[in-house]
C-alpha cells in the first residue's frame, strides 16, 4: 500500500535517488563478499536478509559488525576482492526501474539533480536523514536495508516499490524546464 501523494504545495522538479536498495538490488553480491570474509575467520555464513539489515554505514562498520573489530581491516580486504569479482554480476535493477524512470522523465522531472526543488528517494532511515539535512522532501522505498517499520517511524512517506513513486508524484512536473 502506497502512502498518500506528497503535499501538492511542494514544488518538486527533480528527483534524487539513492542507488543500492532503491534503484538496484546488490545485496546478493554484498552477502557473498561478507560471507567470504566470515569464512576466512571460521565464522558461519549469514543470510542475504541478515546482511541487508547491516548495510548502510560504510564498509569498515559492516566488517566490524559481521567479523568483529579486530578482524575488520582484513575482512574489508577480503570483502573487496570478492565483491570486485561478483558485485556487478550479482546486482540487478529493482522491479520496474526502466519503466518508472522513463515515466518520470516523460512527466518532466529532472532525475538525479540535487536542487531546492528536488525529491530524495531512498531505501533506508539514513536516507530520510540525508534528505532532511539537504532540506528536501523524502520518499522511502521498502526492500532495502531498513525494515518497513523503521522507514515508517521516520515520518516520511513510504512506498512498497519504486513503481509506486508514480502514484505519489503529480502527473507532470511544475512548469519550467522539463526532463533532463
Catalytic residues: 18
Label residues 52-88 b or e (16+ Cβ within 10 Å = b): bebbbeebeebbbbbbeeebbeebbebbeebbeebbe
Within 8 A by CB and 6+ apart from 98, the residues are none
Residues 69, 108: Cα–Cα separation, whole Å = 47
Strands 110-111 and 118-122: unpaired
Amino acid at each position: 500500500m502506497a502512502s498518500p501523494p506528497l503535499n501538492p504545495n511542494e514544488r518538486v522538479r527533480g528527483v534524487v535517488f539513492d542507488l543500492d536498495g532503491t534503484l538496484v538490488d546488490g545485496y546478493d553480491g554484498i552477502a557473498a563478499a561478507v560471507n567470504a570474509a566470515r569464512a576466512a575467520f571460521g565464522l558461519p555464513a549469514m543470510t542475504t536478509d541478515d546482511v541487508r539489515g547491516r548495510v548502510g554505514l560504510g564498509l569498515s562498520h559492516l566488517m566490524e559488525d559481521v567479523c568483529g573489530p579486530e578482524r575488520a581491516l582484513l575482512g574489508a580486504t577480503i570483502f573487496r576482492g570478492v565483491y570486485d569479482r561478483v558485485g556487478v554480476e550479482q546486482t540487478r535493477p529493482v522491479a520496474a526501474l526502466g519503466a518508472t524512470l522513463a515515466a518520470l522523465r516523460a512527466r518532466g522531472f529532472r532525475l538525479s539533480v540535487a536542487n531546492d526543488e528536488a525529491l530524495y528517494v531512498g531505501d533506508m532511515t539514513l536516507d530520510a536523514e540525508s534528505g532532511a539535512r539537504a532540506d528536501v522532501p523524502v520518499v522511502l522505498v521498502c526492500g532495502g536495508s531498513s525494515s518497513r517499520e523503521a522507514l515508517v517511524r521516520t515520518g516520511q512517506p513510504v512506498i512498497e516499490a519504486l513503481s509506486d513513486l508514480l502514484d505519489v508524484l503529480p502527473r507532470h512536473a511544475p512548469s519550467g524546464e522539463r526532463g533532463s
